[in-house]
Amino acid sequence: MEALGELYQQLIIEHSRSPRNYRPVAGANRSAEGVNPLCGDQITLELRLEGDRVADVGFQGSGCAISKASASLMTGAVRGKTAAEAERLFERFHAMVTSRADAPVADAELGKLAALAGVRAFPARVKCASLAWHTLHAALAGGGTVSTESSTE
Ligand code: ZN
């Protein structure tokens, strides 16, 4: 199972065991819930927007290793960015995880997020990896609950 080895690479394991930004956010002014019923992943995302910038972001919840690692990496990637920059990163991430499994990942802007490219070989896992991003999108759009089963994923 070579592909599984690729999926659960070291960075993902490490982030799922010790997720970054796994905490409530002081002074949060945006939040959203995200659920992935197919896997049982659930996250609550909070962030504090200062002007148009994501000054702080954190998440809590439960789910599989991929969903936790993705939320950990996502929060690290968008902190300090403007809402528009964060949305653009979501588009790039989404393009990566929905591209052909054998396509090269040649997008330097993705940085550590490229570690999640392995999910491309496992269609059900794409939802685990995308959940945190859909939840971020919902939070930036005003909040609420988002489900991978009612999105266009
Ligand atoms: Zn999952």
pLDDT of residue 4: 46
21: left (phi over 0), alpha (psi -120 to 50) or beta: left
Centre of ligand 1 from the C-alpha of residue 126, in Å: 9
Determine whether 33 is exposed, middle or buried from the number of CB atoms within 10 Å of its CB (0-12, 13-18, 19+). Answer: middle
pTM metric for this prediction: 0.91
Centre of ligand 1 from the C-alpha of residue 82, in Å: 28
81 or 5: whose pLDDT is higher?
81
- What number of H helices and E strands is found in the chain? 5, 4
3 or 105: whose pLDDT is higher?
105
